[in-house]
Structure 1
Amino acid sequence: MPFAVYLLGLAVFAQGTSEFMLSGLIPGIARDLRVSIPAAGLLTSAFAVGMVVGAPLMAVLSLRWSRRFALLAFLVTFLVVHVVGALTTSYGVLLGTRVIAALANAGFLAVAMATAVALAPSDAKGRATSVLLGGVTIACVAGVPGGALLGEVWGWRSAFWAVAVALVPAIVAVLKSVPSGPAGGGDGGAGPAGARARGELRALRRPRLLVLLALAALVNGGTFCTFTYLAPLLTGDTGIGSSWMPLMLALFGLGSFAGVTASGRVADRRPTRLLVICGPALAAGWAVFALAAGAPVPAVVLVFVQGTLSFAVGSTLISQVLYAATGAPTLAGGFATAALNVGATLGPWLGGLTIGAGLGLRSPLWVSALLVAAALVTAAVARAVGVNPVEKGQPAVAQ
């Protein structure tokens, strides 16, 4: 795997830390900016919505630029808005920086996916995808707890400064290591950006690709439905002390890293076998977790296991999206990013509804099981009507 792909993973780590770290910073932000906890929580929602909307829009915009310029533009924008966020005393300005950061993050991920699979061997899209998503999982393991610790010791602004500093080596690395080929793929002579965008959009109409995007959204919805409410579940029903929560979140992140690492090794050669085994196991695991959440030992084990299965299945589905859309490398990355964030928005919302309805802290686990079960049913129906969503990786056409 080219070293530049790992450098892109470093940038994804910094941005992933920013996306998830607010969960530990909300009380300090609310106190400092004199807003309510729900208002501070909107900062997370604003980022998620910006990712969903921004992924396809920024992917289209990036078709006008070279890959290197697009990546640098998105990274520099992300850095600047974090500096502004660290300095501002206005809640409105901070909210605006989260939206802009989400747009930049969405654009970066779209171009980074296309760049990674273009740099990797033609039959190694799964490995390239696992490296990028590995940056997200490392953010869960180290970045998010680290951000929470910084916020506890030096205030929430220090976490924003830390993200900005972490982006500097990523910017230098992209400048030196990423080729300056067109972001939209091809050789740059395929016509104006508008024509290339129309061509990529046509390629995105394939039924297999649409099914894969739906599956990715459902599986990721299940993942983040439980992850969002993991702390109250473990401290409430399971009885684990709140001081152990950073370790529990890191354990889920370690499982996630194990999942993307394992899937990167097999997703290109045996994706069907991986999904046939791990998909049902993931749905069953959420149900077992719901039944066993009252006992600390099985709960702790399942935190790791479900993190592993969730990201093994999720990253394999994303690599299949990139295999299914070789004619639309940049927009495929954009829509894959949007699908992941649709799930990351839908899952916690549904989990919150069940808790609010009085169904208990374990109810998000059942929602996660149902969302993954819905993905399994969707895949089965697609196969029944002649659409096979999962295929072994084949050498892609030139990008």
Structure 2
Amino acid sequence: MPLTLHLLALAVFAQGTSEFMLSGLIPDIAHDLNVSVPAAGTLTSAFAAGMIVGAPAMAVLALRRSRRATLLGFLTVFLLAHVTAALTTSYAVLLATRVVAALANAGFLAVALATAASLVAPDAKGRATSVLLGGTTLACVAGVPGGALLGQFLGWRAAFWAVAALCLPALVAVARTVPAGRPADGAHGNVRDELRALRRPRLLVVLALGALVNAATFCTFTYLATVATEVTGVARPWIPVLLALFGLGSFAGVTAAGRWSDARPLPVLAGGGAALCAGWALFAYAAVSVPATLVLTFVQGALSFAVGSTLIARALYAASGAPLLAGACATAALNIGAALGPWTGGLAIDGGPGARAVPAVSAALVALALVTGAAADRQRLRAAMSP
């Protein structure tokens, strides 16, 4: 894999740390800003909403611009949003900075996915995607637990300062290594041409599955600290360890998917999806057990990211004529799930069942994805067999 791809993953690491670190900071943010835990969880949904809107919008703006300048611009806005977040005492301002940061993150990731695909052979998009998303999983391993530790010892604002600092070496790396060509190199660089390439039922199904699987992931991950402390009985100082376990699992999953998703995507999606559904259901049952929670946190992280990264690669393959907007649509779909997940988890907490029901909601979302995928496959077979 090209060195540029690994350096892009450095920037994704900083952005992934920001996106996921709230899982360990939500209780402290809620207490400091005098809001409820579900309201603090809405900060994750706000970030996801910004990603949903920002991915296609920012991709269109970047379609005819220098990829290096575009990436640097998005990363600079992302940095400034975190400086503002670290300084504010207002929940409303913090919420706004999450949206702005998400818009910048969405644009960066859309361009980075297109750039990654253009740097490798046509049949290696899955491997390229796994390297790029490796920055996100490493954020779960190191960045998120590190943010939680900073939150415990220095306050939650220190985690936002740390993300801003992480952006600085990423800015230097992008400026020095990313080619200056347009992000749509290899395509026509025309919005209409790319939109035409997106009108494929197969792509729409893949995007819907990505949204559902990611909703399941974020449903439990957003409230993992709450589940661990209120249901499992894990002491707060051990929350960073639990988050690191999820990150280690996600890194293992995305690495495995990078090896298999190009040549054998169906076993990863069907087998991994079924195991993911069963794992979330088991988590809901066994969350009172500390050993079970530790094991399932690692396993579910691995399965979630193996299936999710494979779906992103399938989207890039399904819309090869729209390299930039395909990445943008995949980003938007995943973040529709990232917005839906915390909302459904919050309903479970506020609606009566409590935190223990959160993994059960994740299981239901993956089950819906499996049913949707099976129905789409049957429809495709019927269409192929009809005269």
TM-score tier, shorter chain, comes to over 0.9
Residue deviations 1:86-105 (CA, integer Å, cap 9, x gap): 34455544433222111000
In structure 1, the partner of 2:123 is 123
- In the TM superposition, 1:59-74 aligns within 5 A as 59-74=59-74
One-letter amino acid of the structure 2 residue matched with residue 228 of structure 1? T
In structure 2, the partner of 1:16 is 16
One-letter amino acid of the structure 2 residue matched with residue 238 of structure 1? T
Change in CA separation of 1:69 and 1:24 when aligned onto 2, cut-off 3 Å: same
Q: Does 1:113 align with 2:107?
A: no
Q: Of 213, 228, 232, which residue of structure 2 is paired with 1:234?
A: 228
Shift of 1:31: 6.3
Quick check: 1:292–1:298 contact (8 Å CA) kept in 2?
yes
In structure 1, the partner of 2:385 is none
Find the residue that maps to 2:288 and give its secondary structure.
Answer: coil
In structure 2, the partner of 1:36 is 35
* Alpha-carbon distance in structure 2 between the residues aligned to 1:290 and 1:44: 22
* Alpha-carbon distance in structure 2 between the residues aligned to 1:272 and 1:355: 35
* Alpha-carbon distance in structure 2 between the residues aligned to 1:280 and 1:343: 18
Q: TM-score, normalised by structure 2?
A: 0.92
One-letter amino acid of the structure 1 residue matched with residue 312 of structure 2? I
Structure 2: gaps spanning 5 or more residues: 383-387
Greater shift, 298-307 or 323-332, is seen at 298-307
Quick check: 2:273–2:366 contact (8 Å CA) kept in 1?
yes
Q: TM-score, normalised by structure 1?
A: 0.89
* Alpha-carbon distance in structure 2 between the residues aligned to 1:244 and 1:84: 29
In structure 1, the partner of 2:372 is 378
* Alpha-carbon distance in structure 1 between the residues aligned to 2:372 and 2:31: 45
* Alpha-carbon distance in structure 1 between the residues aligned to 2:106 and 2:272: 28
Change in CA separation of 1:221 and 1:73 when aligned onto 2, cut-off 3 Å: same
Quick check: 2:44–2:222 contact (8 Å CA) kept in 1?
no
Find the residue that maps to 2:353 and give its secondary structure.
Answer: coil
Q: Does 1:250 align with 2:244?
A: yes
Quick check: 1:322–1:329 contact (8 Å CA) kept in 2?
yes
Residue deviations 1:195-221 (CA, integer Å, cap 9, x gap): x11111111110000000000001111
Greater shift, 229-238 or 13-22, is seen at 229-238
Structure 1: gaps spanning 5 or more residues: 389-399
Shift of 1:387: 6.8
Residue deviations 1:42-80 (CA, integer Å, cap 9, x gap): 443322211111111111111121211111111111122
- In the TM superposition, 1:1-399 aligns within 5 A as 1-26=1-26, 29=29, 35-37=34-36, 41-89=41-89, 91-186=91-186, 190=188, 196-386=190-380
Residue deviations 1:239-258 (CA, integer Å, cap 9, x gap): 33332211111101110110
Change in CA separation of 1:249 and 1:387 when aligned onto 2, cut-off 3 Å: farther
Quick check: 2:216–2:365 contact (8 Å CA) kept in 1?
yes
Residue deviations 1:333-382 (CA, integer Å, cap 9, x gap): 11111111111111221122123222232212121111111111111111
One-letter amino acid of the structure 1 residue matched with residue 76 of structure 2? V
Change in CA separation of 1:261 and 1:356 when aligned onto 2, cut-off 3 Å: same
* Alpha-carbon distance in structure 2 between the residues aligned to 1:209 and 1:347: 22
Greater shift, 369-378 or 288-297, is seen at 288-297
C-alpha RMSD over aligned residues: 2.1
Quick check: 2:23–2:225 contact (8 Å CA) kept in 1?
no
* Alpha-carbon distance in structure 1 between the residues aligned to 2:137 and 2:9: 10
* Alpha-carbon distance in structure 2 between the residues aligned to 1:224 and 1:261: 20
